[in-house]
Amino acid sequence: AKEAGRNATRFFDQAMQTTLDHRAGLEAGLRHALAREEFVLYAQPQVNAEGALIGAELLLRWQPPGQALVLPNDFIPLAEESGLIVPIGLWVLHSACATLRRWAADPRRAGLALAVNVSARQFRQPDFVEQVASALSYFSIAPQRLKLELTESLLLDKVDEVVAKMRALHALGVCFSLDDFGTGYASLAYLKRFPFEQLKIDRSFIRDIASDPDDAAIVRAIVAMGDALRLDVVAEGVENDAQYAYLTEHGCRAFQGYLFGRPVPLAEFETRLES
Ligand code: C2E
Ligand code: CA
Ligand code: CA
Ligand code: CA
C-alpha cells in the first residue's frame, strides 16, 4: 500500500510538472505573441428584433504558427495572471478603433457599434481612461460606437474608483455593457450605481429558455428589469428559432448567437458587409 501511495504521489508530481511545463510554455509563447502578430480578432454579429445587423462583438483568438487556433478561455486567464492582458487589451482596443474608423467612411457600416471585452486587470490600470481617450482621438471616431463590455466581478471591489472611471469614460461618450449578466452578484440596487447602457443575458439562461420554466422566468425578469432601468438588453448564445421566438415575444430586442452568425475573422466579417 505504501508503494502504491508513493507511486500515486510520483504520478501526481509528474502530472503537476507537466501542467507547470505546459503553463510555462504557454506563457512564454504568449509573451511574444503580440510582437509576432499572432493575435487575430474575430467578429460576431448582433441583430435587432427584425434580424437587422446593429453591430458586432470582437473576440480574440491566438494563432501560434504551425499550431491549432487557441480560444480565449485557454489563454485569457494566464494573460490576466501574468499581466500580459494589459498590452493585449490595448491592442484589441486600438484594433477596434481602427475598425470603427474604416466603418465611419462607409454609409452602410457607419451606424454599427463595435463591442470589446475589457478585463478587470486592464480596466484597473491607472491610465485606462487616458488610453481610451487617446485611442478615440488618434482614430477620431464617434465614441458612441465603441462599447466596452465589463463583467460583474469588476463591480465588487473598490466600487467608488470603478464608478469614477466609468463616469469619466462615459463623459467621453463611450458606452458600457454588463457582460454575462446573471452569473455573478450584481443586483438591481447595485446596477443603478454604474453607468451601463446595456446588459447581456448570459447564455446559460438562454440555452433552455424554451423548455425550462425557471430559466424562462429569470430571463423575463431580466428583460423587465432592463426596461425599468432603461438598459438595452442583449440575449447571448441564441442558437435556434424557438429561443429567438420566445425572446422576441417577451420583449427582448437585441440578440447575438450562432443563429445569426458565428464569430468569423474580422476581415471576413467586413467582406460580408460589402455583399
Ligand atoms: P464572452 O464575452 O461572453 O463572449 C461570448 C462567447 O460566446 C464567445 O466565446 C462566443 O464565441 C461564444 N458564443 C457566441 N454565440 C454563441 C452561441 O450561440 N452558442 C455558444 N455555445 N457560444 C456562443 P469565445 O470567443 O470563445 O470567448 C470566450 C470569452 O473570452 C469571452 O466570453 C470573453 O469573456 C473572453 N474574451 C474574448 N475576447 C476577449 C478580449 O479581447 N479581451 C478579453 N479580456 N476577454 C476576451
Ligand atoms: Ca463579451
Ligand atoms: Ca458574455
Ligand atoms: Ca430549472
Angle at 273 between CA 267 and CA 274, to 5 degrees: 95
| Residue 216 alpha carbon to ligand 4 centre in Å | 9
Cite the DSSP H helix spans in the chain. Answer: 2-33, 76-82, 85-104, 120-123, 128-138, 159-172, 188-191, 203-206, 213-228, 241-249, 266-274
Helix axes 128-138, 85-104, angle to 10 degrees: 30
pTM of the model: 0.93
At 186 the pLDDT is 67
Site to substitute for ligand 1 among 85, 117, 176, most atoms within 8 A of C-beta? 117
Instruction: Say which residue, 24 or 260, is predicted with more confidence.
Output: 260
Q: Is the CB of 99 inside a 6 Å radius of any atom of ligand 1? A: no
C-alpha cell of residue 53: 445587423
Considering every ligand atom, which ligand is closest to the CA of 258?
A: 1
Report ipTM (2 d.p.).
0.97
What pLDDT, in 10s, does the model give residues 199-237?
999 999 999 999 999 999 999 999 999 999 999 999 999
Measure the CA–CA gap between 267 and 151, rounded to whole angstroms. 27
Give the per-residue pLDDT at 25: 79
- Is the distance from CB of 194 to CB of 166 less than 8 angstroms? yes
The Cα–Cα gap between 205 and 215 comes to 5
- What's the pLDDT tens digit per position in 175-207? 999 999 988 776 666 788 999 999 999 999 999
| Residues 23-78: tens digit of each pLDDT | 777 888 999 999 999 999 999 999 999 999 999 999 999 999 999 999 999 999 99
- pLDDT reading at 267 higher than 80: yes
Atom of ligand 1 nearest to the CA of 200: 3
- Please give the mean pLDDT across all residues of the chain: 93
pLDDT computed for residue 192 by the predictor: 86
CB atoms within 5 A of ion ligand 3 belong to 179-180, 236
Residue 155 has pLDDT above 90, yes or no: no
**CA dihedral defined by 253, 256, 258, 34, rounded to 10 degrees?**
170
Note residues around ion ligand 2 (Cβ under 5 angstroms): 117, 149, 179
- Taking the C-alpha atoms of residue 132 and residue 174, their distance in angstroms, rounded to an integer, is 9
List the residue whose alpha carbon is closest to atom 34 of ligand 1. 117
Ligand 1 atom nearest the C-alpha of 60 is: 38
How many alpha carbons lie under 13 Å from residue 176 in its C-beta half-sphere?
Answer: 27
Segment 97-146, tens digit of pLDDT: 999 999 999 988 999 999 999 999 999 999 999 999 999 999 999 999 99
